[in-house]
Structure 1
Amino acid sequence: PHPPARAVNANGPPFPPPARAYHPLRADTREPDDGPPDNSPLAYAPTPETVGDRADRLFSKVTLSLKGVEEEQRARVEQLTVDAGDAASNIEKVLTRFKIAVPEQAAVKPDDDDDDSAVGGPYAEPENGDNFNNSLAQLDTALTRLEAVRSTAEALPFRNPAIGKEITSPFGNRRDPFLGRLALHSGVDFRFAAGETIRPTAPGKVVNAGWTGGYGNMVEIDHGNGISTRYGHMSEILVKAGDMVGRSDVIGLAGSTGRSTGTHLHYEVRQNGRAVDPVYFLNAGLKLATYIK
């Protein structure tokens, strides 16, 4: 059928077509929507966590936590290794200065069952599968070296025999108090009160204990490595030759026996039989104070 004829206005343009009636139930009468389309996503409902999912999540957290702990422990072990190496090097410097033999680091002996008579192959770098165990091995090596040099230093007379006491006569040439002429004073004199206890500056073996000429009552202790110490002018000797003594043992009482003008301790350090200035050892002891007991 033909569309209906449009009404014509005799004095102007044609009348506009009549508006279409809108019916709420008819789709063909709905006006177009000029707004944007609704592109919002559909609502998502997560699936509930299973026991296996929770176990996996917890395992991942534990693994990360353990890895962090291992890294911290390895860093601590590496720092301890560096500290032990530095301490050993500092002790070695002092021992070398006094021409004391530095002990060699103990070598790892191969097992008796190892047979190298028919083995070989190209060299390849060792596997680095267990860094933490490697760090522990390096720490063990550093501590072994430190213990070796520390034990050597602790056996030598680096301590003060008279802490807080006044030095009345140093080592070296001086005017002899009895002859009035120049003479070598082979030790250091410390002022003591009569009867005060005397202790050795390092452990060792008593090689002489008795009256010894100008020393009066004297004790001499061998500390090994060619080093010995002498303690003179004592009023009483409390050890005998052959005794093994430690730093805390009392070896005698202060006095004024022998060539002495008053109560004091005459202290000597001898290296290979030759008297050396004890102050050198005392100063070295101050540097070693943080490393030895």
Structure 2
Amino acid sequence: MKLFLFNDIIPNPISENEITVALKNTIIEYKILKEKYPDYIDGIISSSQLSNIHLTDNLTLADSLELIDNKEIKNYSFSIFTKYPIEKFLDIDAVWAEGNEHYFVLDTVNKDALFIKIISNENGILFSLNLHTDLAKNSLIINSSNSTNFSVDNLYGLTPNTEFIEEIIKKEEISKLGNLDKLKQILNNPITSKKFENAFDKVSKEIQDLIIEGFETILNYRKNGFNIPETLLRNVTHKNHTISELKLRDPIAKRIYFTEIDGIYYLASLEDKPLKDRLTKEQSSHIKNAVSKIKELVN
């Protein structure tokens, strides 16, 4: 479960309208993440009751939520700001025991960042309001009295930032999966043959990791518009059936045969690279078998 903490650090002076608009924007972006990862995100922790969190002298967090002009978003916001006080959800004693002060520099002014240190210890994410360029960053740097600093991932209400946070959540979610499920997640639920799955399960974790790394490299090349070198990926199309061959060289030479149709990956087989004296005949057999498997998967 990924934890979010409301960050009450904001510039002063600031208008109530600016606060409410920024709050609404971050809630909308949080909602996008929650809908994509419903089992991995569960509400926003706040330091105390919403009516006790003062954003200005005359405006509390509860007040600002009430001022949101969209009824659906307003109702949604009250359903996610339900985790308080902070000590019910996070270990504050460990941070107190360290005896250090923590602060965030907002427009040259040091702001107390004790609660940010607490969420950082839990590898959590800040829920911030985009009211200053210092707050509109993917990660905030926090300084400590023991001359160290640390960074905390930060959601602040703009789409590119939300995409950054989503990548963090996605990577953490994938890291907890078994390698076959991890590969399927990376390739967005490909269609796999039993032959491929059985062969994948039998190879070592090291080989599995290299297969995953190979596909990640392919995806990154394509995302950035780069040509993929043939030392990694080769087109071995057979009789008008498009087949690709992902090459692994070390520690054991392996070949993965697959195709992609309309954005869907079809993983046919995982084979040992044939020995040189059998290369042409055995590789041809591997490709023909892969074509047959893909026909089965597509149909």
Q: Same fold (TM over 0.5)?
A: no
Q: TM-score, normalised by structure 1?
A: 0.22
Structure with max Cα Rg: 1
Q: TM-score, normalised by structure 2?
A: 0.22
Greater share of helix residues, 1 or 2? 2
